[in-house]
Amino acid sequence: MNHSRVLRATNIVLLVSGYQIYWLDSKTQRFRLSLPGIVHILVLAGIYAACIAQHFDATSSMLTILQNVSKFLHGLTRLQLLLGVKVFVYAVYSSVRAVGVINPLLESLAGKAASGFRKEEAMAYALLVSTFGVLLCFGFYIAYEMKFELPPLQDAMIGTALFMPHLCLAGSLRLYNILAWLTRDKLKEIQANVEEALAVNGKKDELEMACTSLTVSVSNSSSDNLESLRQQLQLLGSRFGDFFKAMQHSLLFLVTMNGNCLLFGIYSYIYYRNTWHVLFEDRKRRIFYAANASIYACIACDYLCLLLVQFLMEKERLGMLKSLESFLIQRNSLSKRIRSLAKDIKGTLANTFQHKFLCLWRFDVLHFVLLLFFQGLIFALIVMYHFLSDEILQLREQLDSSDE
């Protein structure tokens, strides 16, 4: 996998989405402050401010209808707008702060560039643009149903004010996925080198029969090589840990933003199925269903990419631990110095790449899925409460009108 190509593609995507204002120097493989990135983020901020202003325009028919139909949905819209302002500012701050730990990590990830295009590199690009692909498919279908007519400018700006911060902050997840994927590739490279060094040292008995001096030379060479690999692994784990600490608040903030979007989507779907559907024709119904489904599809795609990267990275770590165990079981085939280094590598691998959100709970597939499960359970209770409250309120209004 060519790390340089993957990082350049990531840099371009993050610049366009407004998450990053830095440019990747192709020679030094370091992110540097760039004038086009600063200008781009200022232009996006101006557009975003103009879109926010539309939410406070009393003449907006869409917001007026939303407030009259469901105060709860209108409140969720306001909450999303408030979160969006904080997210947009925090995303820029997070990007600036993260560069200080990303550049050292890129130094640890540097290695031999593969000349060909391999499936690992294709997977990296898929992790980078898969959500955009899903969004593009839904957008094309909605445009087709709308006969490729543009919506009113004011409604488009209201939607942009809600969507732009989410797109910007989602860059933190894509950046984490790519660097975690490159770290997994580096772990794979270190594992191959460690196994090669241990395999060479494991043949010392055969070499002793040929020449004692050659055995000492091979043993010293393997020892130096393993020590170098241990230092590489320790440095890689430390730098990736610093990177995770810098990104953890962004990832949690994104979960909060996604949660509000999901709550809005679920409640609006239930409300539509029970009330609004009678007011729309078939074409507009399909548009609503597609727009509503795009919320779940895009968020699910982001989470699946994150969980896939985390699962494969953990699988690579456990595979390396298992490989070291198989060498350490062969007590007579390794010298004491080599065994000591192999144990040190095993300890370094066992104690690193196990990170915790806010130092409270581990970030792995199981715990993250449990977090999403409890979040969904809370959403279900909220939706049930508000939906039943609305139904009771409507029933009271019907009874009052009947009494009159």
Q: Quickly list H helices, 146-281.
A: 153-201, 204-210, 212-274
> What six digits make up the tokens of 201?
């040292």
d(CA 183, CA 263): 34
Residues 99-126, mean pLDDT to the nearest whole number: 83
Task: Select the more confidently predicted residue: 49 or 326.
Answer: 49
What's the mean pLDDT in 177-197?
Answer: 90
Q: What 3-state class would DSSP assign to 146?
A: coil
Instruction: Report the distance separating Cα 142 and Cα 286, nearest Å.
Output: 8
| Residue percentage of the chain with pLDDT more than 90 | 30
pLDDT at residue 220, as a whole number: 64
Query: Cα–Cα distance between 173 and 244 in angstroms, integer?
Result: 11
pLDDT bucket at 43, cuts 50 / 70 / 90: very high
The single-letter DSSP state of residue 352 is S
Tell me the C-alpha distance between 361 and 16, whole Å. Answer: 33
Q: What value does the mean pLDDT take over residues 291-301? A: 92
pLDDT of residue 100: 87
Q: What is the pLDDT of residue 214?
A: 43
pLDDT exceeds 90 at position 297 = yes
Q: Map tokens 């990303």 to a residue.
A: 102
Mean pLDDT of the chain: 84
The whole-number pLDDT of residue 176 equals 94
Those residues whose C-beta lies under 8 Å from the C-beta of residue 181, and which sit 6 or more positions away, are 120, 123, 124, 127, 309, 312, 313
DSSP category for residue 114: P
Tokens read off for 321? 């631990």
pLDDT tens digits for range 241-281 = 999 998 998 888 999 999 999 999 888 888 877 776 666 67
Judged by DSSP in three states, 395 sits in helix
Residue 125's pLDDT band (boundaries 50, 70, 90)?
Answer: very high
pLDDT score at 209: 45
| Weakest mean pLDDT among 35-39, 171-175, 293-297 | 35-39
Taking a C-beta distance cutoff of 8 angstroms, is the pair 27, 49 a contact? Answer: no
Residue 14 CB coordination number (10 Å): 24
Instruction: Taking residues 335-339, report their average pLDDT.
Output: 80
What is the per-residue pLDDT for 91? 82
